[in-house]
């Protein structure tokens, strides 16, 4: 591993600690975060309507908006559901960051993601349901998978078309 990657690896561990700190802040301020604006609207509708509530087809947000729905199905208390819903956002962001560092070894992306979320927190920590932030996490995950496949010399398109045959890059 070259020296630049070693430095990025160390900084990515700091980025993981920073994302963990954001999760701790989300735990401390869960009531303020979940009972504000759109988040309360999503929680209310997912708790009160039988089918899963997904207005305007925001499918990328399923990972967090499914939490109140599952809490209702499991007959959890309202406090527990709101707590889980409030931390589900930062837990999702932290999970993606952990995947970037430990599974895909994309240290630069992990640092960039942490910087993005810290800039986001400085302006709108209590606005959870802005789907752009969830889309950014999906984007970083997509980039990490793409770079991982490129670095491993795996043509995902070839593998999808011919799963039983080896890719031409391995010959």
Instruction: Render pLDDT for 119-151 as a digit per residue (tens, 0 to 9).
Output: 877 766 666 667 788 889 999 999 999 988 888
Mean pLDDT for 94-108 is 95
Q: What is the pLDDT of residue 93?
A: 94
3-state secondary structure of 40: helix
Domain count, the chain: 1
pTM recorded for the entire structure: 0.83
Max avg pLDDT among 24-38, 78-92, 143-157: 78-92
Mean pLDDT for 162-166 is 58
Torsion angle of C-alpha atoms 95, 52, 136, 154, degrees rounded to 10: 70
Mean pLDDT for 46-72 is 78
Report the candidate in 104, 97, 120 with the shortest Cα–Cα distance to residue 15.
97
Q: Which domain holds residue 9?
A: 3-170
C-alpha–C-alpha distance, residues 46 and 4, integer Å: 46
As a whole number, the mean pLDDT across the chain is 83
Q: Considering only residues 50 and 120, tell me which one the structure prediction assigns the higher pLDDT.
A: 120
């Amino acid at each position: 591993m070259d020296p630049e990657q070693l430095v990025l690896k160390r900084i990515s561990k700091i980025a993981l600690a920073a994302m963990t700190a954001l999760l701790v802040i989300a735990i401390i301020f869960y009531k303020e975060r979940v009972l504000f604006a759109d988040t309360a609207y999503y929680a209310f509708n997912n708790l009160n309507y039988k089918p899963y509530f997904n207005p305007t087809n925001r499918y990328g947000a399923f990972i967090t908006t499914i939490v109140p729905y599952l809490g209702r199905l499991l007959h959890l208390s309202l406090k527990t559901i709101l707590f889980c819903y409030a931390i589900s956002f930062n837990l999702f962001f932290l999970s993606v960051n952990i995947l970037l560092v430990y599974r895909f070894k994309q240290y630069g992306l992990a640092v960039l993601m942490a910087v993005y979320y810290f800039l986001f927190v400085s302006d709108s920590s209590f606005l959870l349901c802005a789907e752009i932030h969830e889309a950014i996490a999906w984007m970083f995950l997509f980039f990490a998978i793409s770079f991982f496949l490129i670095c491993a010399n795996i043509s995902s398109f070839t593998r999808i078309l011919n799963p039983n045959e080896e890719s031409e890059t391995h010959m």
